[in-house]
Amino acid sequence: GNSVTQMEGPVTLSEEAFLTINCTYTATGYPSLFWYVQYPGEGLQLLLKATKADDKGSNKGFEATYRKETTSFHLEKGSVQVSDSAVYFCALAISSGSARQLTFGSGTQLTVLP
Amino acid sequence: NAGVTQTPKFRILKIGQSMTLQCTQDMNHNYMYWYRQDPGMGLKLIYYSVGAGITDKGEVPNGYNVSRSTTEDFPLRLELAAPSQTSVYFCASRPSLAGAGELFFGEGSRLTVL
Amino acid identity for residue A5 in this structure: T
Partners of residue A28 on adjacent β-strands: none
Among B103, B90, B113, B83, residue whose Cα is nearest residue B27:
B103
In this predicted model, what pLDDT tens digit does every residue of A70-101 receive, in sequence order? Answer: 999 999 999 999 999 999 999 998 765 555 56
Contact B100 A32 (CB under 8 A): yes
Residue of B nearest to A48 (CA): B102
At A100 the pLDDT is 54
Establish, for the pair of chains A and B, how many residue pairs have beta carbons separated by less than 8 Å: 71
Contact A43 B92 (CB under 8 A): yes
In this predicted model, what pLDDT tens digit does every residue of B37-70 receive, in sequence order? Answer: 998 788 899 999 999 999 999 889 999 999 999 9
Question: What CA–CA distances, in Å, run from A96 to A34, A58, B96?
Answer: 13, 21, 9
Strands (DSSP E) contained in A15-68 are: 19-21, 23-26, 31-38, 44-50, 56-59, 62-65
CA B100 to the chain's CA centroid:
17
Partners of residue B112 on adjacent β-strands: B12
Q: A77 near A84, Cβ under 8 Å?
A: yes
In this predicted model, what pLDDT tens digit does every residue of B70-111 receive, in sequence order? Answer: 999 999 999 899 999 999 999 999 987 776 678 999 999 999
Which positions 23-62 of B are in contact with A (Cβ < 8 Å)?
31, 33, 40-43, 45, 48, 58-59
Which positions 58-87 of A are in contact with B (Cβ < 8 Å)?
none
